[in-house]
Structure 1
Amino acid sequence: MSRQASGLMAWVIQRATAVYLALFLTYLLIQFAFDAPADHAALVAWVAHPVVALGLVLLVPLLLAHAWVGIRDALIDYVHVLGLRIGLLTLVAFVFIASGLWAFKAIITAGLQG
């Protein structure tokens, strides 16, 4: 990919992930408004359902990609000291990786319990 197209790719990623996030959030709002789990065991059983688990497994990397593009663009635009920008991007990357791994572990654990 050429340097000129990197902005286009970020734009496409941001819009594509936003569509999935909006659809999944709408599903969650409807699900919890009309059929909320009564207790923790019911929530774990709901998460263990294959369709819900797949939706959550897709949600994690798409949410992180969406957030990464937004934070990366903000840091590139507003942090002008190169060393500080690289340090902040590295810190955000480590936090996102740790958060993603934690989320996958929680989804898998719920799936094994259900």
Structure 2
Amino acid sequence: MANNNIGPKRLVVGAHFGLRDWLAQRLTAIVMAVYTVILLVAFLSGSNFSYEGWAGLFAQQWFKIATFVTFLSLLYHAWVGMRDVWMDYVTVSVGLRLVFHVATILWLIGCAGWAAQIIWRM
């Protein structure tokens, strides 16, 4: 009896998130690293380390946008990681995994709203 589960006719199952998620994790990590460098340059080149100095930096529109984009990158990075954790380690039931996915999504959306509120309050 021949094994027909090889080559182009093999049975492939799964969500096929591999390359897309690998790339998303790397791109979001790059965004966060660039933002960290921007913060370090602002910190090391600045002389006004008071609240007013930092508030002045965060008051600039480009910096608010960079901060929010970085936060969205962090949230997507966290989503990909947590989704993979739930898919790999919650094997008891699909319903429980769905509850964890929904709870994670709601938490991350709440964090995005909170971040927007904080960033644009300044």
| Structure 2 residue identity aligned to 1:70 | G
Does residue 105 (structure 1) correspond to residue 85 (structure 2)? The answer is: no
Corresponding position of 2:105: 93
Of 94-103 and 53-62, deviating more is 53-62
Q: Percent identity between the aligned chains?
A: 29
1:37 and 1:66 map into 2 onto residues whose CA distance is: 33
1:62 and 1:69 map into 2 onto residues whose CA distance is: 11
**Structure 1 residues 108 and 18, CA gap change in structure 2 (3 angstroms):** same
What CA deviation, in whole Å up to 9, does each residue of 1:28-74 have, x standing for no partner?
13322342653323222210112211211211211100111011111
Q: Which has the larger radius of gyration?
A: 2
CA contact (8 A) 1:60 1:104 kept: no
Corresponding position of 2:88: 77
Runs of at least 4 residues of structure 1 off by over 3 A?
Answer: none
Greater helix share, 1 or 2?
1
The RMSD of aligned alpha carbons is: 1.8
2:26 and 2:18 map into 1 onto residues whose CA distance is: 12
Work out which of the residue numbers 71, 76, 85 in structure 2 matches 1:60.
Answer: 71
1:33 and 1:21 map into 2 onto residues whose CA distance is: 18
Does residue 18 (structure 1) correspond to residue 46 (structure 2)? The answer is: no
Aligned residues: 108
Corresponding position of 1:40: 51
Higher normalized contact order (CA 8 Å, seq sep 6+, divided by chain length) = 1
Q: Which runs of 5+ in 2 are unaligned?
A: 1-13
Q: TM-score, normalised by structure 2?
A: 0.78
Q: TM-score, normalised by structure 1?
A: 0.83
**Structure 1 residues 37 and 88, CA gap change in structure 2 (3 angstroms):** farther
Q: Which runs of 5+ in 1 are unaligned?
A: none
